[in-house]
Amino acid sequence: MKRSLAFALISLTAAFAPATAQTPPDDDLPMSRRVVTRDPSDIVKCGDTYWVFHTGKGIPSLHSKDLLKWEPGPAVFSEPPAWITESVPGNKGGYWAPSVRKVGDKYFLYYSVSTMGAMRSAIGLATNPTLDPASPGYKWTDHGPVVESRDGGNFNAIDPSVFQDDDGSLWLVFGSQWSGIQLIQLDPETGKRIARDSPQENLADAEIIEGGFLTKHDGYYYLFLNWGTCCSGVDSTYNIVVGRSKKVTGPYVDDKGVGMLYGGGRPFIPNKNGPLIGPGHAGILEADGKTWFTCCFEGNTRMEGKATLALMPLHWTEDGWPVAEMK
């Protein structure tokens, strides 16, 4: 994200603070879980427990047995990986917008390292054979940067989202502002870029854009992303749009046929949704025979304007477009 001074003032005290978990009342379901968190990762299951990671010091985690009651778990890092000091010297240990997926016998977790409003950024990779901190095999191993950006370039290496295709190929969507949302292919064995000089595709661009997420449904690839600004509570302008393509590398178009490289995007979740404002950082979860769309809302008027985790039933129209059930 091309983070602003507003983000610096708000998120250093709020977003990086420990998350709180509360059981929501019936009138708040199925959307907000009233769990204070920003930029949630994909929700993944390990054993009988669901896990989600989010922006904050050392990459905090939350876990749940039922997707309703969430409790804080351990952070990924207790100390910053050594490479970060050289790659992004201004970073103080707060990592943004993680993405996690089980690939083979390991969990791959991608995270972004940056400073407010800067293009000097990097996306790192950490792996773990399990997410259960009580397991004897539990250990996060950092593998250094996957992709980096520098001042004077034309993209920003933040907001990673990992996607695995039906054929096993692995892809990373990332980027914000400047030239928008990017895509590179990864090696499923290492989690790193498939080759140092492998192609980097530009998937979408708009005036204010970030938070890309890829999924596949019925032969189409779907790209969800954020328009607008985050991190200002109920004043955030975030909203989510979506486009689709027959190829993972694009081109992605909306329901009007407008390319996402040219500002196209089918509206998916608007900025204001009752007490919930500013949906951001898409994810999709298949659980117990249901499909859930996951995200955070940057402002929740029931929670003193704080960012909160949300899950919504996801359906598909007859012509193949996703719809979130906004109860």
Catalytic residues: 39, 210
Which residues have a Cβ under 8 Å from the Cβ of 117 and sit 6 or more positions away?
Answer: 2, 3, 4, 5
- Distance of alpha carbon 280 from alpha carbon 84, whole angstroms: 26
- Distance of alpha carbon 30 from alpha carbon 50, whole angstroms: 16
- Contact (CB, 8 A) for 221 and 198: no
Q: Tokens 């989690």 correspond to what residue? A: 191
Tokens for 285, please give them: 């979860």
- Contact (CB, 8 A) for 49 and 67: no
CA 6, 10, 16, 20: dihedral to nearest 10 degrees? -140
